[in-house]
Structure 1
């Protein structure tokens, strides 16, 4: 015959079962729970498993210098010790939360730095790409302004400098209005065109085309170089009949190009690097 539970006893809950497994349930409720478990073997096995698990956790986190409870220790003492260990585990968990938050912050910063580094790398333009762009710009400037017949092997024939000068007068008024363009008038060069070049999804450069006193085209190409080492003194190299002067300053790379015998080319490079 099943025992009748007094009507004033509240029904058992999962919280009661957990407290019983932890040894924290009041004696009256524990008695009712034992009757309940006696009628439900599966629940009894689950509670027994909880009890063994609690013992293993307490043993794993027990300090090495904490003395073992004596054989005659009362059950209340064991309950108090278990509650203290549980509270200790809770305290450790709370103390670890700031550490986890700091770790997540560090990971976020690392990811942000990686993204910034990737953007900086993607916005870089290689020195070879700039050199190629200057050579192409010189060829285009010579073809468009003076005709291909006036350009033997990459240079500019100065025999028709008078006609070229008239072309310069026609181009200068509207195309030389760029406040960001370096002013090379002190070295005898006038800006005739400028445009933005695209080298990649994030890589850009600015091209400036000048004409010297003999109407020879001089091209200056400026592009960001945030990761490049500073090289304020220009260095020269020959590309066929052309001469390219390169330097890096202010996190920007400069390439100044023209015919190897172009008047004022190196003087313009000195002027730009010393300004």
Structure 2
């Protein structure tokens, strides 16, 4: 029997892990002969991973009492429907923005439902964005960075010019990590930088550098975890830094301390 042609529905089902095993094998064989399609699906998977990193923590939050209580009037019920619609619209817009930029905005106010507003920790949101960017770009085998380490001087000058402040790529070779390169990412009110490193086994780290901070008070090291990505982050003057990697927390802390010590010293 002639095999059925591979459709877009098959490809999307492959990304989401919803295909039966026999169809899964057929799609996998198709992708082996169509590298462009395989690359497109890898991008979709990276986006799915980033969305899970960003929104899965919400699933563990308790339902607010005001939302679980029985509506006392038709007007209250209408307010709730309006709030749900607002959340849906912003979630859709956020997903599309992540699709296009792989980077959500740094915000001080993240939710407004039926008149209730919640303030968030801006440095923590920076850490979460750094983890999402790490999850999106580090798996990319072909172009994880915009400018490679062979053009490090040009990369640093370019990022410094775009950010409006002098940035540096720390030297992590003594710790077993070499610079791959870097890229520019969008922030709340301007661009931010991402430097990427790897070791001999292919493990990758990213350093997220932002001058896009709502709070510019210095902080000590803080730790956050988004899925499998560990993040150490801190604020130093006008800069915000976040070092991300899927490695042991203690090892990441050791590397973060080295990064801090290098960046705290004047450039030579």
Q: TM (normalized to structure 2)?
A: 0.41
Larger radius of gyration: 1
| TM superposition score normalised by structure 1 | 0.40
